[in-house]
Amino acid sequence: MVHLTINGKPVEVEEGTTILQAARKINIDIPTLCFLKDINEIGDCRICVVEVEGKRGFATACIQKVEEGMVVKTNSPAVIEARRVVLDLIISNHDRECLTCTRNGNCELQKLAEEFNITQIEYAGSRNRHEIDDLSPAIVRDFNKCILCRRCVSTCNKIQGVGAIDCTERGFDSCISTYGNKSLNDVNCTFCGQCIEACPVGALKEKDSTNEVWRKLRDEDTVVIVQTAPAVRVALGEEFGMEIGTNVKGKMVTALKRLGFDKVFDTNTGADFTIVEEGNEFLERLKNGGKLPMITSCSPGWVRYMEMNYPEVIPNLSTCKSPHQMFGALIKTYYAEKENIDPSKIFVVSVMPCIAKKFERTRDGMKSAGYDDVDAVITTRELARMIKQAHIDFVNLEDSEFDAPMGEATGAGAIFGTTGGVMEAALRTVQEKLTGNHFEKLEYEQIRGMEGIKRAKVDMNGTEVKVVVASGLKNAQTIMEEIKSGKADYQFVEIMACPGGCIMGGGQPIRTSKERANIDIKGKRASALYSIDEKSTIRKSHENPVLQKIYKEYLGEPGGHRAHELLHTSYVKRDKYKF
Ligand code: SF4
Ligand code: SF4
Ligand code: SF4
């Protein structure tokens, strides 16, 4: 252990601890900008400078390790002045158009400028100008707002193992760029959006679709139907100051109705269809010697990554569409016929925790009924913006239920939103279908939790099924390499592009670096989904009565001709770079 004092307070910490960690242990706050715990600890921006007695100059608290007997001052007048100079320099080369910035009100730089009472620019001079990259269907990059903290670069490299972006040039010309300075659309980016979650400012954002949705809501000739993914309900409340992991399903449905959507459906029901189709596909492959391991396909960031990096596993991928695409196809066919609505007049909006779903809806094979399955995807953040624009007092809203006839979902559909949830939901169905028995115990503890890779063996009446669950693309890469090298003998693989699954998707509320370091965000959001499952009266997808009715009246058998036409798709080998 090492003993030191910070601002006169004694503290004992383990050797190897940084000054920043030691200070946080005794509730002394040191500002940070480039620091992202375990991901980007590079001491680059120097906003965290502190004085260490007996040492010349300033120490950088996020990387400087503690030493026995150290005396640290984090808030001396000299430290405050040094931080102010750092901040002035960053802001002098920054597009300061906060009023029109998506991060206005949730920006780590803006917050510091407010705290340091920056009211004029000390170092006005030349500024870099960058073209905005908005060519992709999912992400907009505006490097006029970039502060070169590299949080996005480390996230893309270390967590996702993609390396789509990096720091180029030197000195004043430094910037974050892609291979050949191409648009994200034309390089190996997967549109996972994890870089957006990492960015402290408004340099990276999702492509906004709210204006298009408002336009459709104003159009009286259009039937605007919205569906919401499982992970949205356990994160949306955060945008309104509610505790992380609060389930706001009822308020969310009320808000959507107040915004003017004609029908509010639950993508969890779509997830039940995915489970039944995927479970059926797995059983067919298992019984008939089909391509194994079967790999899940509901995470479009993962699918795009696989198409670019591991096209040889395309035959292993389940042909199932993701839940919102399946549900969109059913809305434009089954529901349209049932309600006698011309499908060309229906506009389906998916509220998703995911950025890549904006890309997914534009893929070939997503027009099963001759119309786009889904017409617009908005993220959890975009929905929050719409609710704020409408001045709806979200926190005090009464609860409402999803609309019939497609609103009823199971607990299995709910856990789809967390890592391991798709596998657990699928196993609940597969186990019963394979053995013909009814199971009371539905929890598969081995594949719960937030580890990046979880392996398990599941005994199904003498048939052993080996499964693996991976979240985060770097972990996906590990599993793919195992499969390629022939070392793996899995039968079923679940992969989610985002670390922790959809609850941590690139479209979810953005938390600060400090919150990410101090709060178990993944755990809280995941617990909320497991709690929805526990409280559900029906917890197996194949027992969903809405789903059973739609198969009976319309789709026929799982995996049958019509189900295939509407609920399945195909994949292509994709070049990483467009020239
Ligand atoms: S990134 Fe932050 S400081 Fe910069 S314009 Fe946007 S809100 Fe303002
Ligand atoms: S969206 Fe994902 S893959 Fe693309 S640059 Fe960002 S982190 Fe990298
Ligand atoms: S884009 Fe955002 S995260 Fe990336 S370096 Fe710039 S400010 Fe930092």
Q: What domains can you pick out in the chain, each with its CATH number?
A: 2-91 (3.10.20.740), 131-206 (3.30.70.20), 210-567 (3.40.50.1780)
How much of the chain is helix, strand and coil, in % rounded to 5?
40, 15, 45
pLDDT score of 244: 98
- Report the nearest atom of ligand 3 relative to the CA of 148: 5
pLDDT band at 462 (very low <50, low <70, confident <90, very high): confident
Strand partners, 9: 6
More confident residue, 368 or 221: 221
pLDDT score of 357: 98
Atom 3, ligand 1: which residue's CA is nearest? 110
pLDDT score of 256: 98
31, pLDDT greater than 90: yes
User: Averaged over 97-117, what is the pLDDT?
Assistant: 97
pLDDT score of 463: 84
Name the phi and psi angles at 327, rounded to 5. Answer: -70, -40
Tokens, residue 127: 């500024």
439, pLDDT greater than 90: no
Separation CA 310–CA 481 (nearest Å): 9
Residue that is written with structure tokens 């679709």 in the block: 209
Q: What is the pLDDT of residues 506-518, one digit of tens each?
A: 999 999 999 999 9
Low-confidence winner among 16-20, 94-98, 296-300 (lowest mean pLDDT): 94-98
pLDDT band at 228 (very low <50, low <70, confident <90, very high): very high
408, pLDDT greater than 90: no
- Mean confidence (pLDDT) of the chain: 96
Neighbours of 124 (CB within 10 A): 9
Tokens, residue 448: 């719960």
pLDDT band at 437 (very low <50, low <70, confident <90, very high): confident
314, pLDDT greater than 90: yes
Residue that is written with structure tokens 């000739």 in the block: 221
With a pLDDT cut of 90, the percent of the chain lying above it is 92
Length of the chain equals 579
Ligand 3 centroid to 45 CA: how many Å?
A: 12
Q: What is the pLDDT of residues 255-301, one digit of tens each?
A: 999 999 999 999 999 999 999 999 999 999 999 999 999 999 999 99
Q: How far is CA 90 from the centre of its chain?
A: 29
pLDDT score of 325: 98
Ligand 2 centroid to 229 CA: how many Å?
A: 21
Separation CA 53–CA 15 (nearest Å): 19
pLDDT score of 125: 82
Ligand 3: lining residues by beta carbon, under 6 Å: 146-152, 176, 198-199, 201, 203-204
Tokens, residue 173: 């010309």
**In the Cβ-directed half-sphere of 387, how many Cα atoms lie within 13 Å?**
25
- Report the nearest atom of ligand 1 relative to the CA of 94: 4
- Report the nearest atom of ligand 3 relative to the CA of 165: 4
User: Averaged over 407-429, what is the pLDDT?
Assistant: 94
pTM above 0.95, yes or no: yes
Separation CA 505–CA 357 (nearest Å): 10
pLDDT score of 554: 97
Could you report how far apart the first and last alpha carbons of the chain are, in Å?
56
Q: CB under 8 Å to 176, separation ≥6 — which residues?
A: 143, 146, 148, 150, 152, 153, 165, 166, 167, 168, 203
Helix (H) and strand (E) counts in the chain: 20, 17
Separation CA 289–CA 1 (nearest Å): 58
Ligand 2 centroid to 459 CA: how many Å?
A: 38
User: Averaged over 155-174, what is the pLDDT?
Assistant: 94
User: Averaged over 11-33, what is the pLDDT?
Assistant: 97
pLDDT score of 122: 85
Q: What is the pLDDT of residues 121-135, one digit of tens each?
A: 888 888 888 999 999
Ligand 3 centroid to 111 CA: how many Å?
A: 16
Q: Do β-strands 263-266 and 166-168 pair in parallel, antiparallel, or remain unpaired? A: unpaired
